[in-house]
Structure 1
Amino acid sequence: MWTYLVAWLLTLSLIALGIFWFLRGDPLHWVDHSTLAVATELADRVHFDAQGQPTQIAIPDEVRWLSELAPLDLVYRIFDDQGQELLWSSARARQVWPGAAPAPTPQEAHARVWVEGLPMRVRTVSVPSPDGGPRRLWLQVGLSERLVVLFHAGNGARLGGLMLLMAVLSVLLLGAVQFFLFRRLLAPVSRLSEEAGRIQLSRPGLRLGTEGVFRELKPLVLSFNESLQRLEDAFARQLKFLADAAHELKTPLALLKGQMELGDTDTQALIQDVDQLSRQVQQLLVLAEVTEPRSYRHAELDWEAIVWEVCHFLAPLAQRAGVGLVPDIESVPQGAQGDRSALFVLLKNLVENAIGFAPEGSNVTLRLQAQAVVVRDVGPGIAQADFARLYDRFWRGPGRRDVGAGLGLAICLEVAQAHGWCLSARNAEPGAEFRLSLQPAALPGGPS
């Protein structure tokens, strides 16, 4: 605001100095304009008699003395279209003017002449007809240059001073208006700053208010509130993740400590417990990675290659469980992008979960379609009450053959949501079917 006010003051000051210099340097800059102004005013003051002949010009009282004391400094004459002279300002003017002034030509004109050594400016203008008829009269006015200088003496200083005073007053007025205007405009910003300062992790749910906020600021406030909501959600997920991890790791660690304190030397059992604990830690690391959007590297996916890679990777597990693993390539999705390693983890967890519930001697099918990937087993299926907890972290479904960490399906859901895909589950009778749809629309039987 101060920069603008100073710039405005400097601008007006330069204008005032320019006008002062212009007038101070040569007052004759305005002589032609002054001559025209005098001629126009006198043309409106011509008096006529009953026959329409000009009788006199009503010169203002404040300058009437000038025409009497200096008859050659202000001279005028009226003539008609034939150049016939009808009225003179004075006898002295009539005596010396015809030999020096321009001829009485019936047209508007201006010139510079010398009358007895006195430089003068001459202007010819038309006079309005008293009766509005076609007859036209002309007024020729001569104004001496020294008279113009006298008229404008001190005008430069006065006008420059007036402009400077106007600049100061306008800056003061503008400054006062801007002060109150900016104060009103910035009041919501000050309030928002105070509200933002009260937002802390210990006081979740606080948001910036939009009441009284100008329309231009509302998108910024709403975006800030949305960012706060995302941060709070992420922080809440991290707290829940840490709490769940601590809870799940506390029990196996306590069991290991107890076995070692009791002198349990069953090495095989200890190895199994350590393997289970390692599996939980590994799943926790994977879950932490897939919940972070910056971990994903999106690129064109080779779906068929990933399906075969998952089947090859889990073939030993399926063989130990006595379950057949059948890849079924019906069609290949085109143009779908995503993170290859995340998709591998998603399909691996779905197939591994199906192997854990599939009866011995049955098959688990991994089917690739144009817009979906389907994993199906022929096990006992999913109890209706278990659908609500299917994707909960650390929840393990009853009837599973192996002992998992309870994070596999939670990881699958995180990956699917991060890509905008839809993961759903349903009972296929027999068995359960998990469908990863590449369309964002939700399907019944599971979250989108």
Structure 2
Amino acid sequence: MNQTANAMTMPPDAQQAYANETAAPVRRALFDSLSSRLLATCLLALALSLAVVLTGIGYVFAHYPAEVFASEDIEGVAHRLAKSVQFDVQGRPMSLTITPDIQKFRSAFAQDTGYQVDDEFGNALLSSMPMIVSVPHEGDWMNTPRCRFESGGRIFYVETVPIPGARKPYFLQVVTSEAFDTALIRIKRGTMPKAVGISFLVAALVFGATMLVTLRRLVKPIRAVSQAAAGITPQNLTTRLSLQSIPSEMRPLVASFNDALARLEEGYLAQQTFLAAAAHELQTPLTLIRGEVELQPASPATHQILHDVDRMSRQVRQLLHLMEVSVLQSYEFSQIDLEHVVRDVATHLARSAAARRVTIETSLRAPGKQIRADEGGLFILLKNLLENALAFAPRGSTVAIMADASSISVRDEGPGIDEAHLPFIFSRFWRAPDNRAEGCGLGLAICKEIVLAHGWQLVAERTTPGTLFTIRFSKA
């Protein structure tokens, strides 16, 4: 077993430390967080939506005539060509400008596409060379944007649009074969999956980035509440979680948690009040009993009774100390001189050490070191550790107190603590099976509460000989 298995790990913040100490490790899955689940669900919905749209477009292309879809593109080309017609000084159409993309496309389909400029009587003034077919001008052809006719056993479509800016009515007609419309739709349908795939990739990236930022902002208040809840310990049950910025769906949960804290605080205060009252009520009769016994004639029984009364009084004092150090509001933190407190503790227990024929040796390696602590709590912490060391130190040995800028250590030369017992020595009322020293198992439990309140770290380890207790200060 590791010698430091009983270390009470303490980060700078004491409340967070208590939560970290008592919290069990949690295994995190890929979709364990609410944010990842929402993001995955939204991306899946986006993919399904695009798949449905793509399937619908494919179905429409497969079951509707090609000319229905090609007519919009051809109409757009016709309007572009009509705007490019140029006139001579008499206002007659002289030429038109064909863009390179249209020219390239028409060269590939020279036998299936053509255009011509007509006057109001259907006379062709300009035409592609050669024109693929003779366009009929029957009925109200000038006001019929698109019509269908047959020539030489082939089906053609003609798109008629007026030429803007002309002095007289002139019209541009674009002719395409049915085979050309079908080929145009096939080209579109072939490029559509790629276009949809690229669109989906871009949409997923933009959507994912947007959702991540949005979700982080949404869960930020929840994380703040979680961190605040993790810092709530028996020492500060008066803390309540804030409902500010919490989503309405989460407010009942936070409110219920606050109500549970209120009930816990009420029960904890009742327990602490009972403990304090019982200790105070016991202290007075014990003092009276000791006075009555001391007035009696000396006898072996009198000595044993006084010893038992002193032991009970010490236990009562420890109960009071335990009650006080367990409440964070009992501490008054300030900058104190570490060397001064160490010397006070050593002086306070010098007589007890002399009675046991044990030497207290102090080693102060940080003169003038100031630490932020409760002076009374630090005094009790060092006194309990030193008393524990004196209780197990053999006669003629030395108990050493060593202090530097980052820690305080107390070491004795006794038999040492069994490594199997190290995980339990800071538990309340715990005593080793072979422990014959006086006490009720509260001294080290009090030490634990004090270091928790200060955000420090207390480590106990077996040495050769004896036991070493080390208090490490927080880095904050």
Answer whether TM exceeds 0.5 for this pair. no
**Which structure is higher in RCO with an 8 Å CA cutoff and minimum separation 6?**
2
What is the TM-score when the length of structure 2 is the normalising length? 0.42
**Max Rg structure:** 1
